Structure 1
Amino acid sequence: MSDAPVLRMESVRKTFGASVVLRDVDLEVAPHTVTALIGASGSGKSTLLRCANLLEEIDDGAIWLDSEEITDPRVDQDAVRRRIGVVFQAYNLFPHMTVLDNITLAPRRVHGASRAEAEERARELLERLGLGGKAAAYPDRLSGGQQQRVAIVRALAVRPRLLLLDEITAALDPELVGEVLEVVRGLKNEGMTMVLATHEMGFARDVADQVCFLDGGVVLERGTAEQVFGDPQQERTRRFLRRIVESGRL
């Protein structure tokens, strides 16, 4: 398989009115690696992920997915999104549909899978993520951790090339965070290419191959987890991590 980046961003700029949210962002995500985006709230992490999935239109720069420039206006954006899985912090499950129907909707409606094929894939993933007995349940009968795991299954059901995870533990009770992070750890071990925005610093340090510290819409520092957490070069990064350590989160 090619070693070309699965995702590449070059000089990406995004504004909302007069506010510059992303400022000349460069990013490369190699196949089968995990990139963690860290930084204070409002630093641009979630916007970066939304731009990567074309949910937000960039103002300048370019984004590539597997060597295809997906910000080219001639590109079919829906076709691009079919190759990217996204999990948000708010689950976004349809409350009137069972777990199984939530998971099989996109494979059937968007990817053209048969009901039998989609359900087989869904049940296999539910078993893998410890939810084998929940296929017929409705979302309001599940814990927050279970709902988030269903959201991950839904994203995986379409066999994405890239998985984007946006603060997926932010809405969970502390005791439920671990079960969701363990799923992500398992996906890393299986070779899934992922970019995750997270406030879980210990987890980012343990699983990320690349860590990017964002501040004011700029990737201020990047490197391996060992480099960024163990020997940060920028004073702003050191100050951010010092506060994390003092709060007991690292």
Structure 2
Amino acid sequence: MSAVLELTGIRKSFGATPVLRGIDLELAEHEVVALIGPSGSGKSTLLRTINLLEPIDDGRILLRGEDISDPRVAVDRVRARFGVVFQHFNLFPHLSVLDNVTLAARKVHRVPRARAEERGLELLDRIGLAEKAREHPDRLSGGQQQRVAIARALHTDPEVLLLDEITSALDPLLVGDVLELVRELAAEGTTILMATHEMAFARDVAHRVVFLDGGVIVEQGPAAALFANPREPATREYLRRFSAG
């Protein structure tokens, strides 16, 4: 499988505090990689640097061979190649569900409204929310809003889908529907890099799991193997504590 995303020596500090301390990582076409690790390990910051929401201090980020960490790069053009879903849904409350889903396609990609809405309705139908297309987000549950956020990210056919702890703000009863949608996307071959605290989901859905701690990659490997037999003491301790919790 060819590499879609290549990170080399990524470093990022906030003031005097180092957050990423030399991250090397590749993501192949159609691969699902789960980032796990304690809070503050750098997972969210790493995703934000990939999407150019945070500038890196050192290293290179290549998207299909293009150096998107070059300061001369057209940031909006690069961001349009990613789909991003955050912990909080970030839907526009004054827009309908359909307008939220189609906004980027219409405003950034200049897709005609009729074509954008046709695609948007297809996505909403797929996630079981077609009847909510004309509603505003505050009429939806948290789980429904997060599924709408995923549909919005998918509308522009992104090369990589970045998911940042997308279930952490949800009521536990609503988590399952969101994870099932991601499971379906993974099965269809969507290229996904996700930060998650859902260990069972990471084990069952990801092709590869990457354990971060203190801004470095401590260990990575095939999901089943890493969960069954982690090599590094820090990984074993984290998984033990997580299971105990």
TM-score of the pair, normalised by structure 1: 0.97
Structure 2 residue 141 is the aligned partner of structure 1 residue 135: no
Partner of 2:177: 179
Query: Is the Cα contact below 8 Å between 2:32 and 2:186 reproduced in 1?
Result: yes
Partner of 2:51: 53
Query: Is the Cα contact below 8 Å between 2:204 and 2:224 reproduced in 1?
Result: no
Find the residue that maps to 2:3 and give its secondary structure.
Answer: coil
**1:92 pairs with 85, 90, 93, which one?**
90
Q: Deviations over 1:170-191 (max 9, x none)?
A: 0000000000000000100111
Partner of 1:243: 241
Tell me, in whole angstroms, the C-alpha distance in 2 between the residues paired with 1:122 and 1:225: 33
Query: Is the Cα contact below 8 Å between 1:212 and 1:222 reproduced in 2?
Result: yes
Tell me, in whole angstroms, the C-alpha distance in 1 between the residues paired with 2:108 and 2:65: 23
Q: How many residues align?
A: 245
**2:194 pairs with 193, 196, 201, which one?**
196
Q: 2:194 corresponds to which letter in structure 1? A: L
Aligned-pair distance for 1:32? 0.4
Q: 1:164 corresponds to which letter in structure 2? A: L
Partner of 1:8: 6
Tell me, in whole angstroms, the C-alpha distance in 2 between the residues paired with 1:41 and 1:51: 17
**1:229 pairs with 217, 224, 227, which one?**
227
Partner of 2:113: 115
Find the residue that maps to 1:111 and give its secondary structure.
Answer: coil
Aligned-pair distance for 1:4? 2.3
Structure 2 residue 75 is the aligned partner of structure 1 residue 77: yes
**1:154 pairs with 148, 152, 155, which one?**
152
Instruction: Provide the identity percentage.
Output: 62
Q: CA RMSD in A?
A: 0.7
User: Which segments of 5 or more consecutive residues in structure 2 lack a partner in the other structure?
Assistant: none
Tell me, in whole angstroms, the C-alpha distance in 1 between the residues paired with 2:4 and 2:193: 11
Runs of 4+ in 1 over 6 A off after TM superposition: none
Find the residue that maps to 2:84 and give its secondary structure.
Answer: strand
Tell me, in whole angstroms, the C-alpha distance in 2 between the residues paired with 1:136 and 1:53: 30
Tell me, in whole angstroms, the C-alpha distance in 2 between the residues paired with 1:184 and 1:112: 27
Tell me, in whole angstroms, the C-alpha distance in 2 between the residues paired with 1:101 and 1:246: 43
Find the residue that maps to 2:200 and give its secondary structure.
Answer: helix
Q: 1:89 corresponds to which letter in structure 2? A: Q
Aligned-pair distance for 1:20? 0.5
Q: 2:12 corresponds to which letter in structure 1? A: K
Partner of 1:104: 102
Find the residue that maps to 1:12 and give its secondary structure.
Answer: strand
Tell me, in whole angstroms, the C-alpha distance in 2 between the residues paired with 1:139 and 1:66: 35
Query: Is the Cα contact below 8 Å between 1:23 and 1:218 reproduced in 2?
Result: yes
Aligned-pair distance for 1:74? 2.2
Query: Is the Cα contact below 8 Å between 1:4 and 1:67 reproduced in 2?
Result: no
Q: 1:46 corresponds to which letter in structure 2? A: S
Q: 2:143 corresponds to which letter in structure 1? A: G
Q: 2:121 corresponds to which letter in structure 1? A: R
Aligned-pair distance for 1:109? 0.5
Query: Is the Cα contact below 8 Å between 2:34 and 2:209 reproduced in 1?
Result: yes
Find the residue that maps to 1:113 and give its secondary structure.
Answer: coil
